[in-house]
Structure 1
């Protein structure tokens, strides 16, 4: 059964962490609406490519321009089955937007599947939804996970962790594990809906 998924992104979202789940989830038959505050369907966001080249932190290069396919102003989170929060630099400023934080809280309060990767948990921490959760993220975000009451999961860069309705991962090398675990949650929701 196809699910309706909200993806909240912003300027300098990580290229792979936006493009890959956006396309892969659609390829599996799901509807994915990618939105950004103060932007509408057809507008573009800049993306950044974060790479791991042996320096003490990731490098950053310009990525593709990503075209939004839905308007932030039209979003009603109650009409969505799941949420995806990519990483990059976007979560750093998106967490200052009260409407974004309210949307994130909706998915946790309703127990809907949520997938966040890399710096995405910065947004979840700001929304106050990580208390008591085991959460992976880019390692530099570990203090924020802890300060938000979560337990930082120090896992390999290609791993992912599921805690209840939340799937998290350190960075884009984890896409196979992260997306597989998220799709398992989506399928579990489909099976639950069919049983009701």
Structure 2
């Protein structure tokens, strides 16, 4: 009991000690109040999660784009879409797209291993085992390449990589190509070589 009463007795016998203790208590309270009122710096979410981590993701996502008349022009789907707000982009896993051209009954079908979509620019970049299937009447053409870009604003698809086009009668290879979806025009850039076998199924 004596040990517990000693500080109280000392303060009672020495008024200057009481004043000193009271002053220390007041200073401590002021410091605590000042710190609690100090505005906190905003925390950057990207810094907390890391630059490589997405802001959010969508499972089984679908994107639709319409032309000026309200007609569906582009539809693409992905089992997982990761969104990065700072870069204004979406990274897609195994994207599948359909492009609807003017005056065509059958859409163009696009697929790849991965894709990056930049909505502000209207650009869809496809990479890895890219395949484009286009059907016209009873004839089907298939284009394969390692990477391809769809520009939804200009309604074009293009690449500077090697491409291979096959149909029922021919195989054509080239480096780089550009296609206008609505005009149904395909332009091969360079190193074009092909084989045509009428009446036979092409075997690339």
- TM-score normalised over the length of structure 1: 0.25
- Asked which structure has the greater RCO (Cα within 8 Å, sep 6+), the reply is 1
Give the structure with the larger strand fraction.
2
Give the structure with the larger helix fraction.
1
Question: Which structure is larger by alpha-carbon Rg, 1 or 2?
Answer: 2
- TM-score normalised over the length of structure 2: 0.24
